[in-house]
Chains A and B, each alone.
Chain A
Amino acid sequence: AQSVTQLGSHVSVSEGALVLLRCNYSSSVPPYLFWYVQYPNQGLQLLLKYTTGATLVKGINGFEAEFKKSETSFHLTKPSAHMSDAAEYFCAVSASDRGSTLGRLYFGRGTQLTVWP
């Protein structure tokens, strides 16, 4: 079974500060991992994803995430926050085995990022 835990439902940072959003996953098979962002009154859009290969993944808007198998983590970071980064962020895991979970993503509960001027 697959599941995702996002530590901290709300994170606040000052503009220019480091952004760190935490995600831990549980998966019985090698995971594919995703971060999605949701701006107010909009649907979700893909920020970045890890499938195979390089464990440090770069996404849009300066975000990146590192897959750490030993820690079952996929934390999202950005060196310098911008006001426009204020949004809700969702971590998700997908199964790589065939069966009833084919084609499904499992989402965490989300982390609301607030950026102070």
Chain B
Amino acid sequence: DAKTTQPNSMESNEEEPVHLPCNHSTISGTDYIHWYRQLPSQGPEYVIHGLTSNVNNRMASLAIAEDRKSSTLILHRATLRDAAVYYCIPGWGNTPLVFGKGTRLSVIA
């Protein structure tokens, strides 16, 4: 499994963009990069995933470095509901996920 490095915590002001980085320098060529988040007292929820190209969906954008050794999850306008632990997980989505410690995002009103 590819090892990931994420900041332990980050803070953002409400309605500001947030860039959550992840380093996955040992990622294999076929691994996707998944992002999940876990809101307080809930199970994790899928946010986005990508392979090589940048991806956008209604929740977020994913920017993937050209060498695929790092990626950044972008929340365009943070809301209080986005306060959660964000996990970056290389691998296949339909095999067991290996969760690291993630980044705890705090959003300040």
Bind each other = no
The residues of A with any CB-CB pair to B shorter than 8 Å are none
